[in-house]
Amino acid sequence: MTKAAQINRQGKLRFFLAAVSPPSSCALVTPPLGLLYIAAWLRERFSLDICVVNQRVEGWSSERLVKEAIAFEPDIIGLGCMTPSSYALPGITEALRVALPNTLQVLGGPHIAAFGEDSLAVTAADAAVVGEGEVLMEQIVRAVIEGGTMADIPGLIRRDTDGTVVVNPGMQPLIEDLDTLPLPAYDLIDVSRYWRQPAMAPIPRRKYMALFSSRGCPYGCIYCHNVFGRKFRAHSAARMVEEIEYGMKTFGVEEVEFVDDCFNLDRKRVLEYSELLQQKVGAVKTIFPNAIRGDLLDVETVDALVGAGMYYTALALESGTPRIQELIRKRLNIPKFLEAVALCAERKVFTNGYVMLGFPTETEAEIKETIRVASESRLNIASFFRVTPFPNTPLYKYVEEHSPEKLAAVSYNEMEYWRVKVNLSAVSDKTLDWHLGNANRNFYLRPKRLYRLLREYPKPMLLPGYGWMFLKRIAAGLA
């Protein structure tokens, strides 16, 4: 008998969706937008009982997550995961298989996009979805309800009847018009629980909701997984404002944060959105912990965003040298980036620079130049990351080809990524370690920067209590 045939079709199908994220020293968390988009898409099409949980917010061990899943008596279990948490997938899926032998288990999320079929092979799950999950998950649920086969679902990674992992031929087209996606099912989580947790931006206690207003990025940075492909697709300004209004009216949200890959790729959309938001709702406090490409900002877009409520943005420099920018294919225009930082500084927008040290072939002079560019800029704070290659990125392939021995130092098991001691650069391990520490000293130990930090930090009253955590985040490269 197939699994589909065993589903009790009398009642509603029960779907347990979890963000797998066991407790770790990285306590950061944001609402699980991927799961909320999938839940919203499915419930528009099927009559389902859906439960969405986030392991990190619950503070559950993996054993507890399994118990809660079992208690829900699901027909389908969906597990979303990032690579640092993926070590937990084999244990969780095996325990679920023993307790619920006939329940379909599907994996998804950035880890699957990075590791493809290998991610399924090491677990006891039945199928895995690479990239955008809504349509494939719809086809899986349809196959379950109608007793169809998953062998016909294009691009699905699945376990065959003999247990071997196969990838179905073909590919699912991406969703062209993002406005056809229903609003993420925020009602399935208690968003206020996220307000008390440390989030991506080092600004605590915000009554916020997160938005991912566009998918796909045309840039080709070699260290990136590009979960949503190279083609940029975006929600309209009207839809973004609708989502914000919904959050404010329904949950008492007072702030928004955008975590897109490249929010400002379409300049016209940025201007339209900023104007419409002000017309319909007024300015709403807004932060961009991951969404703005610095060299695409100009006076008009910065003014528009500030008018709409922007008070914090992260800006990714990554490298301060044109040669490394070319090598990593980010191709950031460094002078324009610095101009954007200055525009933000003049308008009191608090800026956080993301910087990466240790790219392949990077010399000590280049590392120093990057630290100099960041330190002499008008950024308020900066996070200096060690370059870590993830499988199936062009960076990983580059290292595999040019210096495979360096990959021996990378372990993705129980990975606290800032502790991985990989060194892809041309300098010794000791030199890279020294510069990673020195970068923080060089950047922060400047009277003007410290003065600006204290004066311009968005929640100065919280600094005394939050200061220690802030310092810990800086030390871990997580500010």
Interface contacts to ligand SF4, rule CB under 6 A: 217, 219-221, 224, 226, 261-262, 330
Q: What does 262 interact with, of ligand SF4, ligand B12, none (CB < 5 to 8 A by kind)?
A: ligand SF4
Residue 217 CB coordination number (10 Å): 20
Instruction: Report, in Å, the least distance between residue 290 CB and ligand SF4.
Output: 8
Q: What does 359 interact with, of ligand B12, ligand SF4, none (CB < 5 to 8 A by kind)?
A: none
User: Which residue's CB is nearer to ligand B12, number 38 or number 379?
Assistant: 38
440 binds ligand B12 (CB under 6 A): no
Q: Which of 202, 195, 252, 192 is nearest to 462 (CA)?
A: 202
List 288, 312, 384, 390, residue binding ligand B12 (CB under 6 A): 390
Q: Report which DSSP code applies to 33.
A: H
Q: What does 32 interact with, of ligand SF4, ligand B12, none (CB < 5 to 8 A by kind)?
A: ligand B12
Long-range contacts formed by 237-241: CB under 8 A, 24+ apart: 237/269, 237/272, 237/273, 237/275, 237/276, 237/277, 238/276, 239/178, 239/179, 240/211, 240/213, 240/273, 240/277, 241/273, 241/276, 241/277, 241/280, 241/281
Q: Which residue has the tokens 């932060």?
A: 287
Name the segment binding ligand B12 (CB under 6 A); options: 7-15, 80-88, 117-125, 447-455. 80-88
Q: What does 24 interact with, of ligand B12, ligand SF4, none (CB < 5 to 8 A by kind)?
A: ligand B12
* Residue 229, C-beta contacts closer than 8 angstroms, at least 6 positions apart: 131, 174, 215, 216
List 2, 24, 333, 431, residue binding ligand B12 (CB under 6 A): 24
User: Which residue's CB is nearer to ligand B12, number 37 or number 452?
Assistant: 37
Residue numbers 109-138 binding ligand B12 by CB under 6 A: 109-111, 114, 129, 132-134, 137
Q: What does 258 interact with, of ligand SF4, ligand B12, none (CB < 5 to 8 A by kind)?
A: none
List 225, 323, 329, 368, residue binding ligand B12 (CB under 6 A): 225
288 binds ligand B12 (CB under 6 A): no
List 243, 261, 366, 369, residue binding ligand B12 (CB under 6 A): 261
Question: Residues 101, 128: contact at Cβ < 8 Å?
Answer: no
> β-strand 350-357 against 310-318: which pairing, if any?
parallel
28 binds ligand B12 (CB under 6 A): yes
What DSSP string runs through 249-296? HHH---EEEE--S-TTSSHHHHHHHHHHHHHHT---EEEESS---GGG
| Exposure string for 225-239, b = 16+ CB within 10 A, e = fewer | bbbbeeebbbbbbeb
Name the segment binding ligand B12 (CB under 6 A); options: 106-114, 163-171, 371-379, 420-428. 106-114
User: Which residue's CB is nearer to ligand B12, number 318 or number 343?
Assistant: 318
Q: What does 420 interact with, of ligand B12, ligand SF4, none (CB < 5 to 8 A by kind)?
A: none
* Residue 389, C-beta contacts closer than 8 angstroms, at least 6 positions apart: 223, 395, 396, 398, 399, 407, 410, 422, 424
Instruction: Report, in Å, the least distance between residue 455 CB and ligand B12.
Output: 26
Token duo for residue 349: 């927008």
How far apart, in whole angstroms, are the C-alpha atoms of residue 38 and residue 78? 10
Q: What does the binding site for ligand B12 look like in residue numbers (CB under 6 A)?
A: 19, 21, 24, 26, 28-30, 32-35, 37-38, 78-80, 82-85, 106, 108-111, 114, 129, 132-134, 137, 200, 212, 224-225, 227, 259, 261, 290, 390, 417
